[in-house]
Every structure is written in structure tokens, then in C-alpha cells.
Structure 1
Amino acid sequence: MRKYLIQFKPFLIFIGTFFTAYIALTVAYKFYLNSLNAGEVDAVTGWVGHNVEQLLLALNYDIKVQQGFSSPWLEVWFNNKYEIRIVEGCNAVSVIILFISFVLAFSGKLKTTLLYILFGIVVVYILNVIRIALLTVLLFHFPEKSHLLHGVLFPLAIYGSVFLLWVIWVNKFSKYAK
């Protein structure tokens, strides 16, 4: 048994670190969400909604993002039509937690790891804002493509971006990079 523990030590450290970070960050986030009042939009979702609105206004679209009446989501009105709602699950925090957990599991030098995590959080956040803005415009013009856009293409884009960030991390900055 000891022979196998030694042989698989790097894998076991990776799995242990990944799941420890993932569980700790997820539990901390859930505690935060549970501290909110009923019907209250969490801060990150509020920031995302505000940034989606700012982006589309900068592109001269008729857009208004507002909190739903006594509901924990944001309503997105596009060309005076209620188009989509931004719920807590749209804020990419769960994707960011996954990203951080993976980077920590393949950590490198402390400063490099922390800077890359910060860089990745910013990249994922910006891509998520762009994703929601594009989804708003495309669903207005192609409502019949809702499942393809919301259920397939846009999750693929955000998770694909995280995967690309992971590949860059492992190959360029982690302790396993050659």
C-alpha cells in the first residue's frame, strides 16, 4: 500500500488540493448567499448586471437592467421588451471557484499563482459580461434559438475559456511547466 501511495503521491496531492479548495470556496460562497435577505440580489450578480447594461449602452443599444419585483434576479429589458433575467447562477462565481481550485491544485510559486488567479478571475468575469450581453442581443433577434444559445454555445464558450486558461497555467506557470 505504501508503494502505491508514493507512486501516486502527485495525483493524490492534486486531488486533495483541488477538492479541499473547491469545497472550502463553495461553502464560503454558500454562507454568503445564505446571509442575504429573501429577494435580495447578491453583489456579484448586481455587478454583472450593471456591467452588461454599461456595455450595451456603450454600444448604443436600448437596454435597462433592474431588479425584479421582490425577486433575487435582475430583469434585462432590451428595446423595451423583457428579454432575459440574470440570476445568481449567471454571475460565473461557480466557474471562478472551479478555476481557482484547479490553479491551486497545480500551484506554482506563490506570487505567480496569486497573480494568475487574479488575472483569471478578471478574464472570466469580463468574458461572462460579454457572454450575457451577446446572449441578450442574440435572443432578441433569434428567440427560437434559445436552447442552442443559452444551453450549448455560451456555456461552451465560458467553460472553453476556463479550460484554455488552465492549459496556459499548466504549461507556462505551474510547478509542472517545463
Structure 2
Amino acid sequence: MKTLFIKYRSVIKFILTFLVVYILLSVLYKFYLQFSDGSKFYPDYFTHLVGQQASSLLSTFGYDAQLLPHPSEPSLKLVLKGEYVARIIEGCNGLSVLILFVSFIVAFSGKLKTTILYILSGSVIIYVVNVLRIVILSIGIYSYPKQSEFLHSVVFPAIIYGVVFLLWVFWVNRFSKLSKKDV
């Protein structure tokens, strides 16, 4: 048994580090959501920010976009040209995807400065892609309402998780301390 632990030490270290960071960040995020004051930024600051930026970008593209608080649930209603097309919930803010991304990068850490810079730049990329995803999804649902389920549950999760996967692959191949012999 000891030889297995020695042989797969790097794999075990990766799994334990990933789990510890993921659980820690998830608990912090849960506390953030629990103690968010929805009076100023409804339903919470990050969801509100993502909604505002998506709405502004839609307006920049020439769509009459409005963002309204949902009357019966903690979400925002996105209205395009007077038509309610989507609700932006806490899960749309991208923070859970960022937690997954950061946990993986920390588990496959490189040099401290490089790791921090990559986490910051990768988080910005994921955030921007997430806002663009909401914008494109909203336009798609507005233009093709019969395809809304397919767009929401297949196409657009593939985009956000595809970007995360590409960032992970780039990180592991370019900056991670893990050597090929450890795998």
C-alpha cells in the first residue's frame, strides 16, 4: 500500500489539493450568498453586475434591453424589445465556474507569481466569456424561441466549460510544475 502512495503521490496531492481548495471556496461562496444584502444589488452583487453588463452589451448591439428584478424569485428578468427572454439567476454569474477553474489551477500550481497571474487573467477571460454567453444566449432565445432549451442546456454550457478546459490544458502544458514523469 505504501508503494502505491509513493508511486501516485503527485496524483493524490492533486486530488487532495483540488478538493480542499474547491470545498473552501465553495463554503466561502455559500457564506457570500447567505449574507448578501439584496436591497442594493438584487439578488446579489455579482449576479446583478453580470446582468447589468449583459444588458448594457445588448443595448450596445442595438437591442432594447431591460433588466428587471423578478417579483417572485431571487433573479433578474432580461427583457429584449419588450419580450421576456431569460432570467439571470445566481448560477449565471459564473462564480461557481471560477471556483472550479481556480481549484484546478491551484492543484496544478506553478510558480507563485505565475499561478496568481494566470488565475487572475483566466478569471477575467472566463468572466468576459460568461457575459458574452448570456448576451448571445439572450439573442438566440429571442430569435429562435423554440431552440431555447437546446441553447441553454447544451450549446452555452459547452462554450463556458470549453473555455475553462482550454485554459486548463494551456496551464498544464505551459506553466504547471508537474513534470511528465509524474503523470
Q: Is the 8 A contact 1:170 1:177 kept in 2?
A: no
Report how many aligned residue pairs link the two structures. 178
Structure 1 match to 2:77: 75
Aligned twin of 2:22: 22
Distance 1:56 1:37 in 2: 27
The verdict on how the C-alpha distance between 1:53 and 1:38 changes in structure 2, with shifts beyond 3 A counting, is closer
| Residue correspondence of structure 1 range 124-135 to structure 2 within 5 A | 124-135=126-137
Question: What pairs up with 1:58-73 in 2 under 5 angstroms?
Answer: 58-69=60-71, 71-73=73-75
* Residue matched to 1:85: 87
CA contact (8 A) 1:103 1:117 kept: yes
1:84 aligned counterpart, secondary structure:
strand
Whole-Å separation in 1 of the counterparts to 2:179 and 2:5 = 23
Q: State whether residues 171 and 177 of structure 1, in contact with CA within 8 Å, keep that contact through their aligned partners in structure 2.
A: no
**Normalised TM-score (structure 2):** 0.93
Identity value in percent: 47
Query: Normalised by the size of structure 1, how large is the TM-score?
Result: 0.95
- Write the distance in 1 (CA, Å) between the matches of 2:30 and 2:153: 24
Partner Cα separation in structure 2 for residue 90 and residue 38 of structure 1: 16
Which of 48, 56, 59 aligns to 1:54? It is 56
CA-based RMSD: 1.5
| 2:32 is equivalent to residue 32 of structure 1 | yes
Counterparts of 1:67 and 1:110 in 2: how far apart (Å)?
A: 41
Letter in 2 for 1:142: Y
Unmatched tracts of structure 2, length 5 or more: none
Amino acid at match of 2:13: I
Runs of 4+ residues deviating >3 angstroms: 37-40
Name the aligned partner's letter for residue 5 of structure 2: L
Contact 2:50–2:93 (Cα < 8 Å) also in 1: yes
Alignment of 1:98-137 (within 5 A): 98-137=100-139
1:13 equivalent to 2:16? Answer no
1:56 alignment partner, SS class: helix
Q: Secondary structure at the match of 1:175?
A: coil
Uncovered stretches (5+) of structure 1, i.e. residues with no partner: none
Q: 1:95 matched to which residue of 2?
A: 97
Structure 2 counterpart SS, 1:41: coil
Task: Give the corresponding residue for 1:2.
Answer: 2
What SS does structure 1 have at the residue aligned with 2:105? Answer: helix
Contact map agreement 1:22 1:98 (CA 8 A) in 2 = yes
Secondary structure of 1:66's counterpart equals strand
